[in-house]
Structure 1
Amino acid sequence: MTEYAVRLDEPETTYTITERNTSDFYENPGSLVMTSGVGAGGAFAAIGGGGFGGGGGGSFVEMGGEPGDEVVFLTGTIYHEDPLESSPQSFMDRVSVRTGEKERVYESSNDGQYERIAAVLDADAGKLVVRRETPTEIGQSYLIDGDTRTQLTSNVDYTPDITNAPRQRFTVERPDGFRFLVNVTLPPDFVEGERRPAMFWFYPREYQDQESYDERGRTYNKNSFPNFGTRSMEYLIRLGYVVVEPDAPIVGDAGAMNNNYEHDLRNNLAAVIDELDARGIIDRQRLGLGGHSYGAFSTLNAMVHTPFFKAGIAGDGNYNRTFTPLGFQSERRIFWDAPNVYLDMSPFMHANDLTGAVLLYHGMHDQNVGTAPAHSPRLFHALNGLDKTAAMYMYPFEDHGPATVETTLDLWARWTAWLEVHLAKKERPVT
């Protein structure tokens, strides 16, 4: 792919700005810096590839230099082949329009930190705003003006105990040889070899093979600051739980990945549990599992097809795939072409096999396609009738994902109480 410039008064002459092999992820020349005003060389127009410049909506290419020696600027990210060894780096290049000669104006360090360009104030003068963060230091913004660097913000980390909690990231292998990653956050007072109750939180995704799965991890940033949302399960480390966030790859031929859904789901979770058990991290008799949306759907599937989990938390899920008969996620076959796949993947159809206790929550105004609010009451009524242990909370005025303070606080009260009851340590009887 080529992006080039032309002078409007010399439309037959082209000036190459970038050339890129689109099949090579690591060959990234960057994207043109855009501005809302006309730059010094306004007689040029950027055309060609269309993949780098972006723009539109009244934007123009930022230009500098002198008449007859105009320059443009490219910004981008350098990714390395082993993201566990080297984290991403940001850069800005100055490119001569007429000669294509490049000069590196800025390149961030990745020595224990991640720094990215947040705004280009004056590309020609090298005036930038960058954001710098580390795994233990919250991001701060800095003004770079030539050789001068001035800190602009004083952001505060309100959860330093979670930021600095011990973490592990490792690869596990399923019986079929497929390898995938697991992220584990440990309580601050965790002692090696001490087995703790654990809460798993996951969201399965579909892949065609190992290569396509591995490609997804190319942008991993080991130097980024860990961000926590209002529903991040990592808060549970304050109560002594190990928090496990595994990838959950569902693998198969294009268009038929879900033929292996139940098989891969079970083997993914079994491989993670076995590895954590071998490391002496978890008490495998005190495990919880949860997820939101497709993660909620998969939580119920895991609890009806495996005996691993004593407690489940499932939010805004779909539990009966016959109500999405024209496809869902990466499934493109319609119900009438693959009825067994739809039925086998519907935890509602296997509700009688539920093991453990499940807590359902759902926004009463969920407008997401496929996760109408009626899904949770239908499953809850079925579980009730089957004498299974279940609870359900429906939240008014909430869409596909809790947003209000009141709902968030209520959810945490329900979740923690649920786990305290169902993952409580049982005293073994004296025999």
Structure 2
Amino acid sequence: LVGDGFTDKGQFPFIDQFNLKTKKKTRLYQSKYTNKKETLNSLIDAKKGEVLVQIESKNEYPNYYVINIKKKSAPTPVTFFENPFKKIENVSKEVIKYKRADGLELTGTLYLPAGYDKKKKEKLPLIMWAYPAEFKDKNSASQNTSNPNDFTYPNYGSPVYWVTRGYAVLDDAAFPIVGEGKTEPNDTFLEQLVADAKAAIDAVDALGYIDRNRVAVGGHSYGAFMTANLLTHSNLFAAGIARSGAYNRTLTPFGFQSEERNYWEAPEVYNTMSPFMNADKMKTPLLLIHGEADNNSGTFPMQSERYFNALKGFGAPTRLVILPKESHGYSAKESILHLLWEQDQWLEKYVKNKK
């Protein structure tokens, strides 16, 4: 038996031997790393005790090793990959824990620029990136599977790049939407969404690192939907970035995400949750980005086009960027470089240099 080994004190993967006759387990191995992450990939030779593992840290690129759980010898390296992201190698990274106003425990991964002085505490602009998730009980919503020793591996959609531009970044901020018993999560979607955001900002602000008047929020797909709602129903943010999102829930009338009720069963929920229906309230700068060929059933490009037209009709500061031939995710080099440029220009104008 191989387990991920998540505990209150960290992640410690393990290998157990299970006796089918006696039903008893014997712990054969458990990782002891506290400053690195060890992943148990495969059992090479059970009799010899040889296991292929992957070891990494927040600034050490993942490499493969062979360990012997019987001899307990030092890991033997199999690969020697170097870190290809030297510019963010020494950024500060930690998983912070905090609580929502109702006591729900939340987490997020906080990045600070390399060399940032945590004693002087220069006030930085903050970028928060998230994706909401629905739960039917608070215990599940509070579970933490983030490992601070995960290698910092940016992709095209990552906000981590902006630590090199002088921002603090709170990535993968927890945004649980909980509905227990007969109550459905989306019955109080907006209230919980704003509470999640406020708790995250309060937590980073309490550390003394940020200027809470210069905070941006962003997300992709359902995270874009989250972003539009946060800008509409709170005054917590200076600007937002919404990519490949859906903004009118009546266009997904037979459910979305974990919502199982259709529009005709819960019209108030669909209308209340739709940023399009509340376009007249939205006055915060919002950058909308969408792939021209998005074939995801819930996020056709029309979603961004109609929402953009509604916002412009009410004079909101907004910009719509359509990426040619891109689908729900983006892949062309030209698209990704343009995406990064658009996001950077937006953040510099409306967040870092907010007037």
Instruction: State whether TM-score is above 0.5.
Output: yes
Which residue does 2:169 correspond to in 1? 243
Describe the superposition over 1:63-89 as per-residue Cα deviations: whole angstroms up to 9, x where unpaired.
xxxxxxxxxxxxx0252541xx23222
Q: Does the CA-based 8 Å contact 1:310-1:355 persist in structure 2?
A: no
In the alignment, the residues of structure 2 paired with residue 358 and residue 229 of structure 1 have an alpha-carbon distance, to the nearest angstrom, of 22
Amino acid at match of 1:87: Q
Q: Which residue, out of 89, 95, 106, partners 1:180?
A: 106
Conserved? CA contact 1:365–1:396, under 8 Å: yes
Alignment of 1:325-404 (within 5 A): 325-404=253-332
Q: State the match for 1:87 in structure 2.
A: 11
Q: Provide Cα deviations, 1:37-79, integer angstroms capped at 9, x if missing partner.
A: xxxxxxxxxxxxxxxxxxxxxxxxxxxxxxxxxxxxxxx0252
State how 1:117-128 maps to structure 2 within 5 Å: 117-128=40-51
Report the CA distance shift for 1:159/1:370 in structure 2 as closer, same or farther (over 3 A). same
* Residues 100 and 370 (structure 1), Cα distance of their counterparts in 2 relative to 1, 3 Å cut: closer
Residue in 2 aligned with 1:189?
A: 115
Note the alpha carbon deviations across 1:116-161, whole angstroms, 9 max, x for none: 3323333333343221222332211123467575312111212244
> Relative to 1, partners in 2 of residues 1:275 and 1:223: Cα closer, same or farther, differing over 3 Å?
closer
Shift in Å at residue 97 of structure 1?
Answer: 6.9
User: After superposition, what is the alpha-carbon deviation per residue over 1:86-132, rounded to whole angstroms, capped at 9, x for unaligned?
Assistant: 32223264x67777787665543334333233233333333432212
Deviations 1:198-246 (A, max 9, x none): 11111111123321212x32x4434332332222101100000111232
Gaps of 5+ in 1: 1-29, 31-75
Comparing 391-400 and 258-267, the one that deviates more: 391-400
Tell me by how many angstroms 1:313 deviates: 0.7
Contact residue 38 and residue 55 of structure 2 kept, 8 A: yes
Match of 2:93 in 1: 167
Specify which structure has the bigger relative contact order, considering alpha-carbon pairs within 8 angstroms and separated by 6 or more residues.
Answer: 2
CA contact (8 A) 1:395 1:407 kept: yes
1:305 aligns with 2:233: yes
Q: Which residue of 1 aligns with 2:215?
A: 287
Residue 306 and residue 97 in structure 1: after superposition, are their counterparts in 2 closer, same or farther (change >3 A)? closer
Deviation at 1:378, TM superposition (A): 0.8
- The answer to whether the aligner puts 1:413 opposite 2:341 as a matched pair is yes
Q: Which residue of the partner structure matches residue 198 of structure 1?
A: 126
Distance 1:366 1:184 in 2: 31
Displacement, 1:418? 1.0
User: Partner residue of 2:53?
Assistant: 130
Q: CA deviation at 1:257?
A: 1.0
Deviation at 1:415, TM superposition (A): 0.6
User: Identity percentage over the alignment?
Assistant: 35
Match 1:266 to one of 168, 190, 194: 194
SS at match of 2:39: strand
Counterpart among 24, 36, 46 of residue 113 in structure 1 = 36
Instruction: Decide whether aligned partners of structure 1 residues 293 and 419 sit closer, same or farther in structure 2, where only a CA change above 3 A counts.
Output: same
Alpha-carbon distance in structure 2 between the residues aligned to 1:213 and 1:331? 17
Look at both structures and tell me which one has the larger radius of gyration over its CA atoms: 1
Secondary structure of the residue aligned to 2:276 is: helix
Amino acid at match of 2:270: Y
Deviation at 1:400, TM superposition (A): 1.2
What's the CA shift for 1:189?
3.4
The 1:168/1:99 distance shift into structure 2, 3 A limit, reads: closer
Q: Distance in 1 between matches of 2:281 and 2:7?
A: 44
The CA distance in 2 between the partners of 1:138 and 1:256, in whole Å, is 42
Q: Any conservation in 1 of the 2:221–2:246 contact (CA below 8 Å)? A: yes
Give the drift of 1:167: 2.6
* Inter-CA distance 372–91: structure 2 relative to 1 (3 Å threshold): same
Q: State the alpha-carbon separation in 2 of the partners of residues 234 and 286 from structure 1.
A: 17
RMSD: 2.4
Q: C-alpha separation between the residues in 1 aligned to 2:217 and 2:28?
A: 48
Among residues 147, 150, 155, which one is paired with 1:224 in the alignment?
150
CA contact (8 A) 2:133 2:176 kept: yes
Amino acid at match of 2:102: D
CA distance in 2, matches of 1:311, 1:111: 37
Count of equivalent residues: 348
* Structure 1 residues 191 and 105: alpha-carbon distance in aligned structure 2, compared to 1, 3 A threshold: closer
2:10 alignment partner AA:
S
In 2 relative to 1, CA 287–123 (structure 1 residues): closer, same or farther, beyond 3 Å?
same
Paired residue secondary structure (2:66): strand
In 2, Cα distance between equivalents of 1:386 and 1:102: 65
